[in-house]
Amino acid sequence: MQPSVSACQHPVPDRDSETRHILSAAWWVLERSRFRSLKVRQVLAESRTSASNFYRRFPSKAHLLLALLEDEVQLVEQQLRERIDPDAPVAEQLRAWLHYNIGILYNQRRAQRTRLFLDPDLMDVLPDEVTALFNVGDRHLAEIVRRGIATGDLRVADPETAAMLVGQLIRGLLTSGGGLPEDRDELVRSVHGFVLRALDHR
C-alpha cells in the first residue's frame, strides 16, 4: 500500500484544472489534520473556491473522498509495478507485495491515510464505487497469482477470489488496532508463509 508522498505529489489525471485544484487542497487539509478528518469548509478555504463550484464537482464529502481514493489507488498501483519484478519467482513477487502493503502498518502517516478510505460512512454512501476501487487495488495481486498458476507454482482455481481474500487479510490487519511485532520482517515472514500455504504453493 510506498515511500511517503506529500499531498501535492498525488497524481490527478484526466480532470479539469479546478477539480485538480480542489483535490490538491483536500490533500493539504488531510496532511494538516494528520489524516484524522476532512471538512468541506476547510477544503473550500484552502482552495479558495465557492461552495457552488465545489458541489458541482463533488455532490457530497463522500464523493470527494472517492476521488481521493482513486488517486491513492493509482499511486499504489504505480509503486507496486516499480517494486515487483514479474519475471521473479512467484514466491518472491508475493513477498514483495506483502512487504509493501504491510509496510503501511509500521508507518503512522501512511496507516492513517489508508484508514481514511476504510471509513464505513464512505462505504455506506458509495458502496459499489468503493468496492470497485478496492478490487482495482487487489488486481496487481491477482496478476501475480495468475502468473503463479501459469508456471504451476500455485494451485488455486480463482486468482481474483484469492487476491480478494488476501487483500481482506491485509485490510483486516490495518483496522484491527492490535499490537504488531516490533520487527516488520517477522510479520511479513509469517503472513508470507500463511499466504503461500493458502495458495497451495508448490
Tell me, yes or no, whether 44 lies in a domain: no
Q: Which of the residue ranges 72-81, 129-138, 169-178 would you say has the lowest mean pLDDT?
A: 169-178
Mean pLDDT of the chain: 87
Closest-CA residue to 199 (of 150, 173, 151, 163)? 163
Q: Tell me, what's the pLDDT at 5?
A: 35
User: Chain-centre distance of CA 150, in angstroms?
Assistant: 27
Look at residue 178 in the predicted model and tell me its pLDDT. 62
CA distance 38 to 22: 13
pLDDT reported for residue 100: 93
Residue 172 within a domain: yes
3-state SS class at 154: strand
Within-domain flag for 98: yes
Asked whether residue 26 is domain-assigned, the answer is no
- pLDDT bracket for residue 14 (50, 70, 90): low
pLDDT value for 7: 36
170 or 192, higher pLDDT: 192
Supply the pLDDT for residue 195: 96
- Inside any domain, residue 21: no
Q: Is the pLDDT of residue 10 over 70?
A: no
More confident: 155 or 122: 155
pLDDT of residue 29: 94
Distance CA 165, CA 157 (A): 13
* 10 in a structural domain: no
Closest to 156 in 3D by CA, of 189, 193, 196:
196
Task: Please report whether residue 168 resides in a domain.
Answer: yes
- For residue 122, what is its C-alpha cell? 464512505
Tell me, what's the pLDDT at 15?
80
Q: Say if residue 176's pLDDT is above 90.
A: no
pLDDT > 90: percent of the chain: 59
* Per-residue pLDDT, 105: 86
Instruction: Say which CATH number the domain at 89 has.
Output: 1.10.357.10
Range of the domain at 74: 61-198
Is pLDDT above 80 for 177?
A: no
59-107: per-residue pLDDT in tens?
999 999 999 999 888 888 899 999 999 999 999 999 999 999 999 888 8
Task: Look at residue 49 and tell me if it is in a domain.
Answer: no
Long-range contacts of 39-44 (CB under 8 A, 24+ apart): 40/64
Q: Tell me what the mean pLDDT of segment 2-27 comes to.
A: 66
Q: Is the pLDDT of residue 12 over 60?
A: no
pLDDT value of position 74:
87
Domain count, the chain: 1
Distance (Å, whole) CA 92 – CA 84: 9
